[in-house]
Amino acid sequence: MVSAVLRTILVTGGAGYIGSHTVLQLLHQGFRVVVVDNLDNASEVALVRVAELAGHDGANLVFHKVDLRDRHALEDIFSSHRFEAVIHFAGLKAVGESVQKPLLYYDNNLIGTITLLEVMAAHGCKKLLGFTGCRCVLVSFWTRCPALYPSSATQLVNLCHGGVMHMHAIRDNIFNVMVPDSAGVLVIRNCLWVAQGSAMHRRIPPLCHQPIWANQDPDWKIILLRYFNPVGAHPSGYIGEDPSGVPNNLMPYVQQVAVGRRPHLTIYGTDYNTKDGTGVRDYIHVVDLADGHIAALRKLYEDSDKIGCEVYNLGTGKGTSVLEMVAAFEKASGKKIPLVFAGRRPGDAEVVYAATAKAEKELKWKAKYGIEEMCRDLWNWASKNPYGYAGSSDNSN
């Protein structure tokens, strides 16, 4: 096992939902952690609580309120610390908003990431863990065969898996450019492939097939982690998911209905070819997800000579329907969730879950928690913090 002694990790977006849980696990493992976050969709209270949960290890947490597009501020931070690696969470991720405000997403996510990469390179820090959502990383068939570009995410997944409606396990080498959120992430992926070089070129077709590989830098060691649907909270109920505005994902919305902040849950699509007609997704406990980052970070150090740019799915490998998740939450909370049924949303896939064999074999990581534990911990957080960090007495924002 890699020793964390004296290793300092930069975590961008570390005040967010997944970021804060990962920061806590890093502190527990003995890492020094520097968090950079502009707090656009996060609260500094999360980091205050992380430090408290970490006990004496909380002294190893430093926070800078900085936007990644602020090169000068980022340069100052890199000049003040010697980072062994960077875990990159920072970025906007709401698919609907990305369609409405595409330039905002390209500016924030793409320019922010490029600036980060440039500053990392200038300071000799070339180990990176990057994130993706499951819908942001499927193969861009249209880059080679425009005629195959599908009109919906369901069709795209079907193309990836030979048109078999129920074989929707997303593999580690599939990418999608359906919306600006996804397209921007794809461009970022290509930036990372180009930065590292030929190892990824042999595995996945890049966005551009130009002789750009002449500028490759094999010193880069990059692991891209594809998330599926994080759910739950730290078992203490002290940190959890606190989205700004109307939640974009199922379970944060469910928790707000349960505490009386929303009147009902709208379920989109009841005529899918699934056991109960609702969409099926792979839900993963946020603590499992955080542990997956520790496993990937360990691989960056222990197998550094073997890594170019690798992609891993972090999921359970199991699909759960919307109605099944609602039922599990009702059981955990004792609350009845009022439901309203509506038609399908454009672009929603029928069944999506992870192919996890590669992560289990190479990262020695496997999700431990099921939907019962996810819903239990989610309700523990929601019942203690019905208005998230905004309702906290230690809110400093």
pLDDT band at 135 (very low <50, low <70, confident <90, very high): very low
Q: What is the pLDDT of residue 397?
A: 45
Q: Give CA angle at 28 (23, 34), nearest 5°.
A: 35
Mean pLDDT across 283-297: 98
Q: Do 185 and 109 touch, CB atoms closer than 8 A?
A: yes
What is the per-residue pLDDT for 350? 92
Task: Name the pLDDT band for 195 (thresholds 50, 70, 90).
Answer: low
Residue scoring higher pLDDT (397 or 99): 99
**Amino acid present at 153:** A
User: Is pLDDT at 159 greater than 60 in this prediction?
Assistant: no
Indicate if the pLDDT at residue 179 is higher than 50: no
pLDDT at site 105? 82
- Three-state DSSP class for 224? strand
Which of 150, 208, 13 is CA-nearest to residue 93?
Answer: 13
Percent of the chain scoring above 70 in pLDDT: 75
Q: Would you place residue 229 in the very low, low, confident or very high pLDDT band (cuts 50, 70, 90)?
A: very high
Please provide the average confidence, as pLDDT, over all residues in the chain: 82
In this prediction, residue 155 has a pLDDT band, given cuts at 50, 70 and 90, of very low
Higher pLDDT, 342 or 311: 342
Ordered domains of the chain (ranges, CATH): 8-139+189-384 (3.40.50.720)
Summarised one tens digit per residue, pLDDT across range 304-323 is: 888 888 899 999 999 999 99
* H/E run at residue 322: helix 322-333
- Rounded mean pLDDT of 37-63? 97
Work out the widest C-alpha separation in the chain, in whole angstroms: 60
Q: 17-49, pLDDT tens digit by residue?
A: 999 999 999 999 999 999 999 999 899 999 999
Task: Give the phi and the psi of residue 367 in degrees, each rounded to 5.
Answer: -60, 135
Burial of 210 (0-12, 13-18, 19+ CB in 10 A): exposed
Using CA atoms, how far apart are residues 90 and 182, in angstroms rounded to an integer? 15
* Structure tokens that stand for 95 in this block: 């698919």
Q: What is the pLDDT of residue 6?
A: 67
Query: What is this structure's pTM?
Result: 0.84
Rounded CA-CA distance 283/271 in Å is 21
Q: What percent of the chain has pLDDT over 90?
A: 63
